Chain A
Amino acid sequence: MTKLHCIFMQGVKKPFREVIDVAWGDAQGAGIKPLTFVRQVLAACLYPQLLDSNRLPTDVKQKARGLLSECHGGSMGSYTDLPGIPQVAREISEYIARRDGGDPPKTGNIFISPGSQWALQNILNLLVHGHGEVRSGVLTPIPCHVTTIESLHSLGGVSVPYYLSEEHGWELQMEELNRALEYAKQVCAPVALYVVNPGNPPGHVQSKKSIQDVIRFALEKRLFLLVDEVYQDCVYADNVEFVSYKKVLAEMGPPFSDTVELASFHSASKGFLGEAGLRGGYVELVNMDPDVIKYACTIFSKDTAPTPGQIALSVLANPPRLGDPSYPLYEMETQQMQTMIKANVRRVHEVLDSLPGISCQPVEGGAFAFPRVDLPPKALQKAKEMGMEPDTFYCLRLLEESGAFITPGCEYGQKEGTYHIRFCIRSPGDVIEDFLGRLVTFHTQFMKEFS
C-alpha cells in the first residue's frame, strides 16, 4: 500500500483531471459539511465574545455557556478531569439511557478519550499481557480495519481472526467463532472478543439474535466483549435496525446482564457529526470489576480528550430537539445527509450489480462498500510478477489510470483466493457518481486486458 500512497502523495500526472479520494472513512475530508450547530457551539466556546453578539441562536449560546461554566476557569483551554467536562459525561449517560432504555449508566463507567481507538487501546492495555511465554489474545474479525489490530500488536497481544461469512451478507457465524477460539487456545490465552457493529469494512448490521448468540458465547467461554459501535448512526437498509450490545445484554437478564463484561465504544468521528479531526470518543464499561476500574481511571486520566472533541460528543449525545431554535436546520442537515448517503448506497449497488466480475453484499450500514472482485488468472499472474497482492495491483492500476484512490481488501484480511476493494460511501453524491464512473470504465478495460 505504500506504493499507492507514494504515488498519490506525489500528485501523479495522469489522464485524469484530479485524484478522487474515497479511500478513508473521512466524511468531511471527502467534502461533506459539518453540522452547523456543532460548529456554532464550538466557535462560541472558543471565543466567548460571540456569546454577547446576536449572531448565534439562543440554544447555541445556552449550550456553550453551560459547557464553559463547567470548565475550570470557564475556559476550553483548561485540562478536564475524569471523565471530562461533567455536562458531557452526563449527556452521554442520558444518551445511552434514551437509546437503550433503562437507567442512565453511572458517569464513573464512562471514559472519554481522544477518539474511540484511543479508548480501545486503553482497555486492551488493561486486558493484555504482552510479555512472557503466554500472551493474551483477542478474537478479531476478518475483514477488519487495521487500526485495532495494530493497536493490539503494539501492546504485545495476539490477534486471532474469525472469518465473517461473505456469502451470508458478512454475518458473524457461531461455528466460526468456536473454531477460532479453539485455535486461539493453542497459540495464546484468549481473553476478549472484538466485534464491529455496524461493520468496517463490510457494511453488515448485526441482528439481535446474532448479538444474543455472541453474548452467550462470551459468558460461556469467559471472554471480555469489546464492541466497536462507532457506526451506530450509519444504518441505511430499510428492514435493518441497529441495536446496541448493552441493550441486548440488559434484556437477556441474569446471568448475562450482571456477568458479561462489556466495553462499548462510540465516537464523534462518524455518523452525522463526522468530526474525525476533533478527536472525541468514549467507552462505556459494563460489569467491570470495580477494582480494575480504578486502574482504568489512572490510564484514562493521563490522556483526557481534547475539549473540542468533548464539545462534539456533547452534541452527539444531546443534539437539538424539536422546539429548539436550531432544530429545523439540524434536522434538515441530518436528513439531507442520510438521504444522500442512502442514495449513494443505492447507486453503488445499481452500478456494481451491472458490472461483471464485481459483486457486493448489501451495504446495510457503516461507511464503506466492500465488493469482491473476481480477478482473472492473467491479472493474478501479473500481480505476482510485480510482487504485489492482486487487489493491490488492481487498486494501483485504478489510481494510475483513472485517479481514483481506494484501498485493497488484503489490507483488511479476506478468505484465501478472494479479492476485494473498499471505498467510502459517506461522501458527497457527486463524488460517488464521479468515482463510480471512473470505476466502471477502468474495470471494464482491466477485465478486457486480462481476459
Chain B
Amino acid sequence: LANRVEKMSENGISRPKVLTLDTMNPTVKMVEYAVRGPIVQRAVELEKELSEGIEKPFTEVIKANIGDAQAMGQQPITFFRQVLALCSYPELLNLDNTFPEDAKNRARLILQSCGGSSLGAYSPSQGIDYVRQDVANYIERRDGGVPCDPDNIYLTTGASDGITTILKLLVCGQGIDRTGVMISIPQYPLYSAALAELGAVQINYFLNEDNCWSMDIQELQRAVNEARQHCHPRALCIINPGNPTGQVQSRDCIEDVIRFAAKERLFLMADEVYQDNVYAEGCKFHSFKKVLFEMGPEYSETVELASFHSTSKCYMGECGFRGGYMEVINMDDDVKSQLTKLVSVRLCSPVPGQALMDLVVNPPQPGEPSYNCFIKERTATLSALAEKAKLTEKILNTVPGIRCNPVQGAMYSFPCITIPDKAIKEALEKGQQPDMFYCMTMLEETGICLVPGSGFGQKRINEGFVVMTILPPIDKLTILLNKVKEFHQRFTKQYS
C-alpha cells in the first residue's frame, strides 16, 4: 500500500511528480472528447496563425463542427435577453420605456423566486421551485395533459450535467456485472466520454443508414444479447432528434423502444435537446414521456425514464448559459435520495440558466406586448434552419462520392464520403483514421473544420462520415457547401 508515499527522493533534486500519466486515475485516460479533440485544436492554432498575419489559402477558419448557433450568427431571442438583463440589474426596472412591461413583470416574478431576490444567491440544489413548476407545466402542455410532478424535475448545468449524473447513478458492479450502457452509433461523443470516465461498458447499437438513421429493434436486440456475455446492460440512451444524424424517430419506433426497454429491463435515457428542431415533412417530435404514458400503466408505471432538455439548442441557441433540466420518471425512492445527494455536490446549477429555462418553458403569450416580436424571431430562426437543412442535403447530394441523408431535425448533416484508396493508404501511414485525414486536409486547405465520423464511432473501409453543422447564415452556408464540394472533387482527383 501507498508505495509512492514511501518513495522519498534522497538528495532533493528533481523528484518524480505525484501526479503523472502512470499514477493518474486510469479511467480519465480513456476519455476522448471528439467535439473538442485534435482537429478542433488544430483549427484554433490556424485561427491564431491567421490573426498573426500568416498567409493561408483561406481568410477565416469556419468551425462547422460544434452545435453553437450564436457563434455562427444566430440572434438570441430579444425577450429572453431583456428579462435576464432586468434580473441581473434590477435598477433597470425603474427606468422608463427601455423595456416592455411583460419583460419587467417576468423579471420581478423570477427575482421574487430567488433567495435575497438576486440571481447571485444559491438556489436549492434541485433548482428554483418556481422554475421547476413552470417546467412541469410546460411538459404537461407539450405532452397533451400527461401529468408532470415538479418534484421529478431537476434543473441542471446544461443537459450534459444531467446525463452524466444519471450515468453516475447507473454505473456499478465489477467484471461481468459491470454496467453496460447502450448508445447509438453514430453518437454524440459526450456519451462515450462519460462512459469512459465512469469506467462503464459502452454497448454500441447501429442506427439504420438506409432508413434515414432510424432505430432498429432487431439491432438493439443483437447489441444487448451480445453485451450480456460480458457486462450487465442497465441503460439505453436515445437522442431524439438525433445528433449527429438528425433523425426524428417515429411514434411507432418510440413505442417499440419502450417495449424493448421494459422487456430487457433497461433504464431509458432520452436526450431531447433538439425537440423544437424538426424540419422534414411528415416528421414530428414525440416525447418519450408522452408515448410512455399513452402506452398505459403496464409501461408508464414501471419503465424508468430520464428525459433531458437544455437552453443550448432549438431556437434559443443559448449554450453559454448552461441551462438545462431533466425529468425523472419511476425512479426508485432510495435512488432518488442518492440523486438528490449527487446534485448537491454541484451546489446548484447556474441561476441565470435557470431563469432562462423558465422563459423558454413559459414564453410570451398572445396578447402580451412581447408576443409578436417573440413569435417572429422564433419562426425566423426555425424556418432558416429548415431551409438550411434542405439546402445542405441538396448541394451535398450533387457531389459524386458524397451522399447525404435528409436532415430531418437537429443541427447537423452527416454525409457519407467516399475516400479513395490512395488517400486511405496515406492516412494509415500517418497513423490517422481515413476520415480524420480527410477532415485535416480539408481544414488545412479550406479553413473549414468538420468533425470526422470516426469521432462518432462509425467506421468503414473506404467510406467515412463527417459532421457538419447547418448553422452558418444561409449565404455563408452556400459558400461553405460549395467549398466542400470543390475540395472533395480536388481530393478525389488528387488521390485517384
- Residues of A whose CB lies within 8 Å of any CB of B are 24, 26, 28-34, 36, 39-40, 42-44, 46-47, 50, 53, 55, 71-73, 75-82, 114-115, 117-118, 121, 125-131, 134, 136, 147, 150-151, 154, 181, 184-186, 188-192, 219-224, 255, 259, 261, 273-279, 287-289, 291-292, 295, 298-299, 301-309
How many angstroms between the C-alpha atoms of A289 and B319 in the bound complex?
31
Residue B54 CB within 8 A of the other chain: no
Question: Within the assembled complex, what's the spacing in Å between the Cα atoms of A82 and B15?
Answer: 30
Please give the distance in Å from A186's CB to the nearest CB on chain B: 7
Question: Taking chain B's interface residues, is the majority helix, strand, or loop, or is none over half, making it mixed?
Answer: loop
CB pair B4 A77 closer than 8 Å: no
Please determine whether A29 and B199 come into contact, CB atoms closer than 8 angstroms.
no
Chain B neighbourhood of A42, CB < 8 A: 85, 88-89
Query: What residue in chain A is nearest B356 (Cβ atoms)?
Result: A77
**Ordered nearest first, which 7 A-B pairs have the shortest CB separation?**
A277-B351, A29-B115, A72-B71, A29-B121, A47-B85, A307-B320, A43-B89
Contact A222 to B350, CB < 8 A, known contacts A77-B318, A292-B24: no
Q: Is B397 an interface residue (CB 8 A)?
A: no
Known contacts A114-B350, A134-B1, A43 near B157 by CB under 8 Å: no
With contact pairs A77-B319, A306-B353 given, residues A287 and B121 touching in the complex (Cβ less than 8 Å): no
Question: Would you give the shortest CB distance from A57 to chain B, in whole angstroms?
Answer: 12
Within 8 Å by CB of B72, from A39, A40, A73, A288, lies: A73
Whether B21 and A292, one on each chain, are in contact in the complex, defined by CB atoms closer than 8 angstroms, is yes
Q: Is the CB of A24 within 8 A of B122?
A: yes
Cβ contact within 8 Å between B157 and A114: yes
Known: A43-B92, A154-B168, A189-B1. A309 touches B346 (CB 8 A): no
Given known contacts A36-B91, A189-B4, what 5 new A-B pairs fall within 8 Å (CB)?
Answer: A26-B121, A34-B120, A42-B85, A55-B98, A76-B320
Residues of B with C-beta under 8 A to A259: 14-15, 17
30 A-B residue pairs with CB within 8 Å: A28-B118, A42-B85, A42-B89, A43-B86, A46-B85, A47-B81, A47-B84, A72-B71, A73-B72, A73-B73, A77-B316, A78-B319, A79-B319, A80-B320, A81-B44, A117-B345, A121-B345, A125-B197, A126-B19, A126-B28, A134-B2, A189-B1, A255-B15, A277-B348, A277-B352, A291-B21, A295-B28, A299-B197, A303-B161, A306-B350
Q: Complex Cα distance A317/B359, Å? A: 31
Most buried by B among A39, A76, A126, A277: A277
Whether B116 contacts A28 by the Cβ 8 Å rule is: yes
Compute how far the CA of A191 lies from the CA of B2 in the bound complex, rounded to whole angstroms.
Answer: 8
Task: Using A222-B7, A302-B193 as known contacts, say yes or no to A189 and B321 having CB atoms under 8 A apart.
Answer: no
* B479 at interface by CB-CB < 8 Å: no
Contact with A along B75-93 (1 / 0, CB 8 A): 0100001101110110110
CB neighbors of A among B328-349 (8 A): 341-342, 344-349
For window 1-49 of chain B, which residues contact chain A by CB distance below 8 Å?
1-5, 7-8, 12-15, 17-21, 23-26, 28-29, 31-33, 36, 44
Which residues of the partner chain A approach B71 to less than 8 Å between Cβ atoms? 72-73, 75, 78-79
Identify which of A28, A76, A273 contacts B115 (C-beta below 8 A): A28
CB nearest neighbor in B for A30: B116
Contact present for B33 and A302 (CB under 8 Å): yes
Which of chain B's residues has its CB closest to A301's CB? B36
Q: How far is the CA of A307 from the CA of B68 in the complex (A)?
A: 14
Q: Which of chain B's residues have a CB closer than 8 A to the CB of A31?
A: 116
Out of B24, B88, B190, name the residue touching A46 (CB < 8 Å).
Answer: B88
B458 at interface by CB-CB < 8 Å: no
Is there contact, CB below 8 Å, between A71 and B320?
yes
A114 nearest in chain B by CB position:
B157
In the complex, whether B137 has a CB less than 8 A from a CB of chain A is no
The CA-CA distance from A445 to B115 in the complex, in Å, is 31
Complex contact A189–B5 (CB within 8 A): yes
| A298 and B345 form a contact (CB under 8 A) | no
Contacting residue for B68 out of A72, A273, A274, A278, CB 8 A: A72
Q: What per-residue 1/0 map shows which CB atoms of B268-289 lie under 8 Å from chain A? A: 0000000000000000000000
A29:B28 contact, CB within 8 angstroms: no
The answer to whether B2 and A189 have CB atoms under 8 Å apart is yes
Contact in complex: A79, B320 (CB < 8 Å):
yes
Minimum C-beta distance from A352 to chain B (A): 25
Select one of B4, B28, B174, B320 contacting A125, CB under 8 A.
Answer: B28
B121, A276: Cβ atoms under 8 Å?
yes
CB distance from B318 to the nearest CB of A (A): 4
At the interface, yes or no: B322 with Cβ under 8 Å from chain A?
yes
Contact B320 A43 (CB under 8 A): no
With A73-B72, A147-B345, A277-B114 as contacts: A302 and B190 at CB distance below 8 Å: yes
The reply to whether B89 and A40 contact each other, CB–CB distance below 8 Å, is yes
Q: Quick one: given A29-B115, A301-B33, are A306 and B320 in contact (CB under 8 Å)?
A: yes
Instruction: Report B-chain residues with C-beta under 8 Å of the C-beta of A30.
Output: 116
Contact B84 A46, beta carbon cutoff 8 Å: yes
Contacting A73 at CB < 8 Å: which of B20, B70, B120, B350?
B70
Task: Tell me if B2 and A190 are in contact (CB < 8 A).
Answer: yes
Smallest Cβ-Cβ distance to A277: which chain B residue: B351
| A79 engages B120 (CB within 8 Å) | no
Contact residues in A for B345 (Cβ distance below 8 Å): 117, 121, 147, 150-151, 154
- When C-beta atoms are compared, the residue in chain A nearest to B129 turns out to be A9
Q: Decide if B32 touches A131 in the complex (CB within 8 Å).
A: no
Is residue B160 contacting chain A, with contact meaning CB distance below 8 A? yes
CA distance in complex: A43, B348 (Å): 22
Cα A261 to Cα B23 with chains together (Å): 14
| Contact (Cβ within 8 A) A295 B341 | no
A20 CB, min distance to chain B CBs, angstroms: 13
Note all chain A residues with C-beta closer than 8 A to B242. none
Which B residues, 191 to 243, have Cβ-Cβ distances below 8 Å to chain A? 193, 197, 199
Q: Which residues of A contact B28 (CB under 8 A)?
A: 125-126, 295, 298-299
- B19 is contacted by which of A154, A288, A308 (Cβ under 8 Å)? A288
Residue pair B1, A289 in contact (C-beta under 8 Å): no
B392 CB within 8 Å of chain A: no
Contacting pair B116 A32 (CB below 8 A):
yes
| Docked pose: A289 CA to B320 CA in angstroms | 30
A75 touches B17 (CB 8 A): no
Q: Which residue of B lies closest to A50 (CB)?
A: B85
| B350, A308: Cβ atoms closer than 8 Å | yes
Would you give the shortest CB distance from A67 to chain B, in whole angstroms?
Answer: 11
The answer to the question of B244 belonging to the interface, with a C-beta cut-off of 8 Å to chain A, is no
B186 is an interface residue with CB less than 8 A from chain A = no
- Whether B18 and A223, one on each chain, are in contact in the complex, defined by CB atoms closer than 8 angstroms, is yes
**Which residues in window 141-179 of B have CB below 8 A to A?**
157-158, 160-161, 168, 174
The contact of B21 among A134, A289, A299, by CB within 8 Å, is A289
C-alpha gap A73/B76 in the complex (Å): 11
**Residues of chain B with a CB closer than 8 A to A306's CB:** 157, 320-322, 350, 352-353
Verify A276–B347 contact, CB threshold 8 A: yes
Q: Can you name the residue of chain B whose Cβ is closest to the Cβ of A9?
A: B124
Distance, CA A224 to CA B23, complexed state (A): 12
* Chain A CB within 10 Å, residue with most, of B14, B89, B319, B353: B89
Instruction: Judge whether B433 is part of the interface by a CB distance below 8 angstroms.
Output: no
Identity of the chain B residue whose Cβ is nearest the Cβ of A31 in the assembled complex: B116
Contact present for A278 and B352 (CB under 8 Å)? yes
Q: When the two chains form their complex, are residues B70 and A75 in contact, meaning their CB atoms are under 8 A apart? A: yes
Q: A127-B25, A295-B28, A306-B320 are contacts. A277–B118 as well, Cβ < 8 Å?
A: yes
Most buried by B among A43, A71, A186, A275: A43
Q: Confirm or deny: B303 has a beta carbon within 8 angstroms of a beta carbon on chain A.
A: no
Q: Which A residues touch B74, using CB under 8 A?
A: 73
